[in-house]
Amino acid sequence: MFSLESKFKFECRPGVPCFNTCCQKINIFLTPFDVLRMKKSLRMTSDEFLKEYTVALIAEKTGLPVVLLKMDRETGRCPFVSDVGCRIYADRPWSCRMYPLNQQENGEYGLAADQTRCAGLSEEREWGVYEWLEDQGITVYDAIEKDFAQIGARLATTGYKIENPKIRDMYYTACYNLDKFRRFVFESSFLKVFDIDPETVREIQEDEVELLKFGFRWALFGIADNKSFKIKEDVLEAKRKEIKGS
């Protein structure tokens, strides 16, 4: 296992014998920030991207949907890889950024391959683990998806598994289908029911990353934390009167 100060050698480029072979016959799980970046890079809506390029499965431990990149049926290759490299390299997924490192459940790092499988590990370019994470943009993911990680952590702590399909759909929409979640927030009674401060409303209207982070908080609220969103007092009062009158 590696610490953040550990060193390793790696370089991937055209001319390395195994160039592009790691982009096929593997499972590439997409994080919510992956989906946001990739659909924007391809100028697609969330609905379009998820339908064309992904498949959703249910995680055995948590019962929550997980999203995988749909590989080419004939070749098993990533749909975005070409002979000269990745066509969406600037917005490639988290797992592609991490390679050749992997992250264990306990948070430690290791190598995802060895020199017999990855010739890039025999190159002379040396990296520190933290240097690599910074260079590849991994630390940005950590900051943006902090609340997303909390959802799985809360379920792991309690051992609770989500079985309700409505909760699964809520989670999938809030975390992955950002355009649908935007419609839910701004075109339903959501903002009339929940007490969301005006500055937050402005931020999630103007910034998709802020909307995504808001979606994580909503999913966390629905699954494991019923205190992070407050119902407006006038809505509660109307409900009290309704109950008294019934």
Domain edges within the chain: 7-142
Residue 147 has pLDDT above 90, yes or no: yes
The tens digit of pLDDT for each residue in 187-205 reads 999 999 999 999 999 999 9
Please give the average per-residue pLDDT across 116-143, as a whole number: 95
Q: Which residue has the higher pLDDT, 22 or 134?
A: 134
Residue 86 has pLDDT above 90, yes or no: yes
Per-residue model confidence (pLDDT) at position 9: 96
Please give the average per-residue pLDDT across 85-107, as a whole number: 92
Per-residue model confidence (pLDDT) at position 246: 59
Other C-beta atoms closer than 10 Å to the C-beta of 32 total 23
φ, ψ of residue 27 to 5 degrees: the values are: -95, 120
Residue 133 has pLDDT above 90, yes or no: yes
- Supply the mean pLDDT for the chain: 93
